[in-house]
Amino acid sequence: MRLRLFLSALLFGVLASRPVFANCGMDICESPGHIDSEGKPLSLTTDARFTHVSHDDRYFETMVGTIYKMNDRFKMGTRIPVVSVQQAGQNTTGLGNVVVFGTASLLNAETNKRLNLGIQLEVPSVSDEALGDGHFLILPTVQFGWYPSNAILSAIVGWGQVLDGNHNHSESHHSSGHDDHGHGHHEAVQAPSIVNPHANTEVLIRTDSGYGWDLSKSRFTTSLRTDIIQEFGDNTNELLASAGPVFGLAWTQITSEISTLFSLTNARRYQHRTTLRLRFQLP
């Protein structure tokens, strides 16, 4: 009952607030128990994410946000980014995609297992069509983690669903066989923006497997991350996959993580993506 009330209150509060444009995706999710510092309930986060789509198209997102730990079970937070897009020889910069999210832990944090429920909400109000796609989109997730000894085994499964209207899948900006020198071709590219495209309905799966080391005053982790997206819709049924290394370092009140993912399938939304995340706990 408490869990249903929490998630319902989060969803109602966001829908009732001033509309914003969001950028849902697995990079907003925190791997359950992967690397985290303990302490005060309020944390500040900064994320820098560079996405190379093709030879001429790329974008850079700088995100700032907060995470509030309500108690041992519940967290909620937000991300507010500034986006800079280079597309078809034109540069556009401005406020991009705000995301609001919540997480509920179902297991005791003292164990080496994690089972969390999460939710992200996208509410459109993009000011420039080059900076993103405009749809209400909800992304509920289930987050699993198992950490025997110093090993890291975690997975996040999400269901992304557009809530308003019928999303035009030609906006998903798939590319196929396009190398960094501009050879190859693009498939249907009708949308005004290359920033974080999505299908009308899709299942997202992220896995991490690796190891962690306890140092004198910090903890270092490394893992292999895999992202899989299965699209569903009238015009597409594509499977997209990417993978790459993740490195994390945690101190008492600061955690950091850097990852680079490379697309593995012909159908793709980017060539490669690098993300740096820093988290600071307030005193």
Q: How many CB atoms lie within 10 A of CB 220?
A: 14
pLDDT digits (tens, 9 = 90+) for 182-236: 444 444 444 458 888 888 899 999 999 999 998 888 899 999 999 999 998 766 7
Structural contact between residues 59 and 132, judged by C-beta atoms closer than 8 angstroms: no
**pLDDT for 125:** 66
Tell me phi and psi for residue 72, to 5 degrees.
-65, -15
Residue 142's DSSP bridge partners are: 117, 157
DSSP 8-state symbol, 2? H
CATH of domain 2-281: 2.40.160.40
Distance CA 2, CA 73 (A): 11
The whole-angstrom separation of Cα 181 and Cα 152 is 37
What was the pLDDT predicted at 132?
Answer: 77
Whole-number pLDDT of residue 217: 84
User: Which DSSP letter does residue 163 get?
Assistant: -
Q: What letter does residue 33 receive in the DSSP assignment?
A: T
Q: Mapping DSSP to helix (H, G, I), strand (E, B) and coil, where does residue 172 land?
A: helix
Q: Tell me how far the alpha carbon of residue 101 is from its chain's centroid.
A: 11
Rounded to whole angstroms, how far apart are CA atoms 101 and 149? 30
- Spans in the chain with pLDDT lower than 70: 1-25, 30-40, 125-126, 165-192, 234-235
Q: What is the pTM of this model?
A: 0.81
What stretch of H or E contains 13?
helix 2-16
